[in-house]
């Protein structure tokens, strides 16, 4: 189970660092123009904030376990990313329909699996 959790953590970390990094690198006006049409229009600064959260969350999935320092932060990183994915599912459904919400839904479930699988790290010193 530990190996499976590490594989999922690394893959999710790569996904979130890449997607958040793209949000940080692309200029704000282009980022907002590339956003899919939804019922809710997010400001460019909010999208940049989400990018920062994704990068930090992605790093939080692997760095505490690798350094063995405050490993419980991995659980909080995965929980925060799951919350972001809930928002992505809702906006995906509002904009393009259920089809657009499948990937964020599965990603969110994997984040919740990390929270469940690493819950013992909360007690680790």
pLDDT of residue 37: 65
63-97, pLDDT tens digit by residue?
Answer: 999 999 999 999 999 999 999 999 999 988 888 88
pTM assigned to the model: 0.90
- Nearest Cα to Cα of residue 23 among 113, 7, 71, 15: 15
- Mean pLDDT over the full length of the chain: 91
Structural domain boundaries in the chain: 2-122
Per-residue pLDDT, averaged over 1-24, amounts to 96
Judge contact between 20 and 55, C-beta under 8 A. yes
Q: Give 3's contacts (C-beta < 8 A, 6+ positions apart).
A: none
Judge contact between 82 and 108, C-beta under 8 A. yes
């Amino acid at each position: 189970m530990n190996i499976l959790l590490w594989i999922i953590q690394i893959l999710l970390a790569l996904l979130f660092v890449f997607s958040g990094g793209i949000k940080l690198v692309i200029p704000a006006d282009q980022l907002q123009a590339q956003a899919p049409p939804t019922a809710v229009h997010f400001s460019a600064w909010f999208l940049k904030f989400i990018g920062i959260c994704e990068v930090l969350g992605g790093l939080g999935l692997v760095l505490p376990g690798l350094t063995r320092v405050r490993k419980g932060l991995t659980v909080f990183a995965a929980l925060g990313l799951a919350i972001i994915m809930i928002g992505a599912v809702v906006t995906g459904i509002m904009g393009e329909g259920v089809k657009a919400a499948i990937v964020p839904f599965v990603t969110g479930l994997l984040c919740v699996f990390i929270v469940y699988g690493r819950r013992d790290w909360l007690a680790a010193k």
